[in-house]
């Protein structure tokens, strides 16, 4: 069955949390050091209003295999057109194109949300995530040395950013994005199979 990408719903939260928790032991993708509970992430999920800061899931045969989100950056009005992107894939599907498909999907949606700048905060030793960002045109915009400590090892944080192409249009103002139809992982944003 071909995986599809769609907006997340609250019922997906247990699977989203499970995938997030899978990333914790590897000490590469998150600064959390212990598993989080679904109840702890409920407020985070609800803060991601799908008309402003969506969460998308990749689903295959009824199972969530990855997710990506756009989160508010810094929480001040002047930054409303800047977001932080996060992408997580179940360990069973690493290096299978799921992260690439999710990133392509979420970046293609940014224009509908009025987003102009996308940021990604990545540990410097997380080479796969850095490569994923570079694949989509992100550049290194900052480097914070030894700001995290994981298992007694100090880790650097890299800030990667991408400025999105600005288009002149008569689209609805930010916060009124049109709902998206589910799309198969192999389908590009123009509807063609890759």
The whole-number pLDDT of residue 186 equals: 56
Q: What is the pLDDT of residue 71?
A: 96
Query: Looking at residue 181, what is its pLDDT?
Result: 52
What string of pLDDT tens digits covers the 194 residues of the chain? 789 999 999 999 999 999 999 999 999 999 999 999 999 999 999 999 999 999 999 999 999 999 999 999 998 999 999 999 999 999 998 888 999 999 999 999 999 999 999 999 999 999 999 999 999 999 999 999 999 999 999 999 999 999 998 655 444 444 445 455 555 565 554 454 44
pLDDT at 96: 84
pTM: 0.84
In this structure, CATH architecture of domain 4-120: 3-Layer(aba) Sandwich (3.40)
Residue 21 to residue 17: CA distance in whole angstroms: 6
Query: Strands across the sheet with 55-60, in order?
Result: 139-150, 153-163, 117-123, 82-89, 63-72, 55-60, 4-7, 183-184
- The residue whose two tokens read 């599907």 is 93
In angstroms, the CA 88 to CA 83 distance is: 17
> What is the C-alpha separation between 90 and 80, in angstroms, rounded?
30
DSSP β-ladder status, 82-89 and 117-123:
parallel
pLDDT of residue 185: 60
């Amino acid at each position: 069955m071909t995986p599809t990408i769609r907006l997340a719903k609250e019922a997906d939260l247990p699977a989203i949390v499970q995938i997030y928790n899978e990333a914790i032991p590897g000490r590469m993708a998150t600064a959390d050091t212990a598993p989080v509970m679904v109840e702890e992430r409920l407020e985070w999920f609800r803060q991601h209003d799908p008309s402003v800061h969506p969460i998308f899931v990749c689903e295959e045969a009824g199972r969530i295999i990855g997710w990506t989100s756009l989160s508010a950056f810094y929480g001040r009005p002047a930054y409303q057109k800047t977001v932080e992107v996060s992408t997580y894939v179940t360990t069973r599907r690493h290096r299978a194109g799921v992260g690439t498909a999710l990133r392509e999907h979420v970046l293609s949606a940014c224009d509908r949300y009025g987003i102009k700048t996308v940021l990604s905060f990545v540990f410097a030793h997380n080479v796969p995530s850095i490569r994923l960002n570079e694949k989509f045109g992100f550049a290194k915009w900052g480097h914070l040395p030894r700001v995290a400590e994981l298992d007694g090892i100090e880790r650097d944080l890299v800030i990667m950013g991408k400025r999105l192409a600005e288009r002149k249009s008569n689209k609805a103002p930010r916060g009124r994005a049109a709902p998206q139809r589910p799309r198969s992982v192999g389908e590009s944003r123009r509807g063609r199979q890759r």
